Amino acid sequence: MKTVDRLRKEFQVDAISFSETNDEIINIEVNNKYAKACICLQGAQILDWTPVNQKPVIWMSADALFRKNKSVRGGVPVCWPWFGDHVSNPAFPAHGYVRNNTWELKKTETLPDGSTRLLFIFPENDEFKAYWPYKMKIELHVTIGEKLQIVLKTENLSDGDVTLTEALHTYFNISHIKNISVNGLNGCQYLDKLDGYSVKEQQDNILVKEEVDRIYINTPDEVCIYDSGYKRNILINKSESLSTIVWNPWKVKSDLMGDMGDDGYLGMVCVETANAASNAVNLSAGQVHEMSVEYKVECL
């Protein structure tokens, strides 16, 4: 039986349906009383979350490529077990291994309030072991409701300590980059990737007027994207995450990337819930760590 048919048989409930691209990439569509959403089995990457009567909250590039083992440009890529380049081997895939590979859907559930919850696990495989020789259990819990809740759960099943970095690399859909500010990081220190990782301090709310690529460290749990064009705040509330990455590639880098779409950078900003740089997570044997985030729209 084809995987997509098996998934339909096992997990299809009223709010959930499955589709498959020509390249055998399987998408899971959720449509409940709160929102519609789409999650790709490859990377367990959320591609869409659009609450009822709202513009999409998650940005997807108009030129996104849906290819095997390639992260889709937009959505919520899951970067694990390293964020950015691998610390000692630049030949390893950027942003870790799991964002480009297929996860397994383990459970779907309708919660008492009508929200839909999906549980994904990342299966062990030999290729991954070559990159990451530790025994770990990795789960992604996604709840689609009035809020979008994402929990990335890691359990260290190996005998010793393991250090990792990670990010929920969310691309947010905004009315226009000139209409937004990222609020809540005032006074935080950041590593400026565009200036040799030099350490700087954020003064005031963040306005994006050029390429920005920053790892904010020791950040508070609440951050907000204020959008005067869509007359809304996107409220971001995280836990067990000490870093926040703010990224916009601007025009020159977007053109080089080739999958950002024409002027796509003007309609997106990445605000990533992460543990990166000096906020790397150290897990002792048997320890469980749950980095999570909730997104909510507040109309203005």
Alpha helix stretches (DSSP H) within the chain:
3-11, 126-131, 250-257
Check residue 232 for interaction with ligand BG6 (CB under 6 A).
Answer: no
Closest CA to 261 of 45, 76, 77, 72: 72
Chosen residue from 213, 224, 260, 269 binding ligand BG6 by CB under 6 A: 213
∠ at Cα 216 (101, 221), nearest 5°?
A: 85
Residues 153, 193, 289, 296: which binds ligand BG6 (CB under 6 A)? 193
CB of 83 to ligand BG6, least distance (A): 7
The CB density around residue 168, as the number of other CB atoms within 10 Å, is 24
Q: In the structure encoding, which two tokens stand for residue 20, read together?
A: 């498959």
* Shortest CB 218 distance to ligand BG6, Å: 17
| 169 touching ligand BG6, by CB under 6 A | yes
Binding mask 2-41 toward ligand BG6 (x if CB under 6 A, else -) reads ----------------------------------------
Peptide bond connecting 90 to the previous residue in cis, omega within 30 degrees of 0: no
For residue 187, CA distances in Å to 17, 223, 228, 279 come to: 45, 13, 23, 17
Residues 259 to 298 in contact with ligand BG6, rule: CB under 6 A: 272
Q: Is 95 near ligand BG6 (CB under 6 A)?
A: yes
Nearer to ligand BG6 among residue 37 and residue 277 (C-beta)? 277
Q: Which residues are catalytic?
A: 169, 272
**Phi and psi of 49, rounded to 5°?**
-145, 110
158 residue type, one letter = S
HSE-CB for 15 with a 13 A CA cutoff: 21
Q: Which of 94, 121, 235, 280 binds ligand BG6 (CB under 6 A)?
A: 94
* Rounded least distance, CB 51 to ligand BG6, Å: 25
Please, which residue, 108 or 243, has the CB nearer to ligand BG6? 243
58 near ligand BG6, rule: CB under 6 A = no
**Which residues would be at the binding site for ligand BG6 (CB under 6 A)?**
71, 84, 94-95, 169, 193, 213, 245, 247, 272
